[in-house]
Amino acid sequence: MNETNTELREGLAAAAVLLGKARHVVVFTGAGISAESGIPTFRDPLTGLWARYDPETLETPRAFREDAALVWGWYLWRRMKVAQALPNAAHKTIATLGTTQREVTVITQNIDDLHERAGSSDVIHLHGSLDIPKCFACHRIPTDESWNTDIAAEGVRVEPPRCERCKGKLRPGIVWFGEDLPSRAWKRALATAKSCDLLLSIGTSGLVYPAAEIPREALRNGASVIHINPAPVTQLGVNEYAIAGTAGQCMPLLASLAGV
Ligand code: APR
């Protein structure tokens, strides 16, 4: 066994002890957990026809005002990618963890539904969901599915449907750059992070605030935090651990070592 494997094994063994003891676990996830389901992360360069766009410029109110059809087309394409994807071993392991005696809350920055499709029942979406659009003008959520079309292709512009009440343009119900998080979800996420004894932070770059406060809040309140990410996590504090591997590789191993 080489040095990397030994390090990974030791990291997993230490994390398994913490997971074995934990009574209230928060699983905080980012785009990396869905990477092995084939959904590109935010900070991976885009490929194909979307390659000339940057999500950080497409996902803003300004981009929608300037070219709503481009943003709606991008959103439909992302919905299609998610619909074609399946939960991976990490999503499934987290769902299984939720069936044990521990309290398990998933706090996700992801707008896909792979945690729910894997079977997790308590999922807080900090950045909204691909499945719930709303009116750009009056914020009303459509009451029927007529907005839900199959038209989606890479790089294709699609005019957004209109709001049934005010005839404004429908926009994706996700949190764009510069927008506030949904306040109920945020309050509940903070309270849960404060009360957990272990937080697993999986597949997130930790660059986007305020979501990136969640692991810090857990640490401040005495919980341990374990980061699972193939990229190195720097500046670990007290009670903070890192496992350098992918979510789909590490989560089943961690659960099995912890006897889940
Ligand atoms: N397993 C675990 N982690 C992975 C994997 C994998 N298979 N593949 C990649 N990663 C890690 C990357 O190393 C990176 O640290 O996942 C992280 C993905 O980072 P981002 O793309 O920045 O995604 P995320 O942290 O979720 O972004 C936060 O930014 O664009 C906004 O609103 C958007 O919710 C998103 C937020």
- Give residue limits of the domains in the chain: 1-39+86-129+180-260, 40-84+134-171
Angle (nearest 5°) at CA 229 between 24 and 95 = 40
Half-sphere exposure of 12 (CA within 13 A, CB side): 22
Cβ burial, residue 126 (10 Å; 0-12/13-18/19+) = buried
Task: For residue 165, give every residue at least 6 positions away whose Cβ sits within 8 Å of its Cβ, in sequence order, or none.
Answer: 135, 138, 140
31 lines ligand 1 (CB under 6 A): yes
50-67 mean pLDDT:
84
Global pTM reads 0.94
The number of the ligand 1 atom at minimal distance from the alpha carbon of 110 is: 34
Please write the tens of the pLDDT for every residue from 91-110: 999 999 999 999 999 999 99
Domains 1-39+86-129+180-260 and 40-84+134-171 in one fold? no
Please write the tens of the pLDDT for every residue from 119-141: 999 999 999 999 999 999 999 99
Architecture of domain 40-84+134-171: 2-Layer Sandwich (3.30)
What whole-number distance in Å separates Cα of residue 209 and Cα of residue 212?
Answer: 5
Listed residue (124, 116, 122) closest to 98, CA to CA: 122
Architecture of domain 1-39+86-129+180-260: 3-Layer(aba) Sandwich (3.40)
Is 127 annotated in the active site?
yes
217-246 mean pLDDT:
94
The number of the ligand 1 atom at minimal distance from the alpha carbon of 126 is: 34
141 lines ligand 1 (CB under 6 A): no
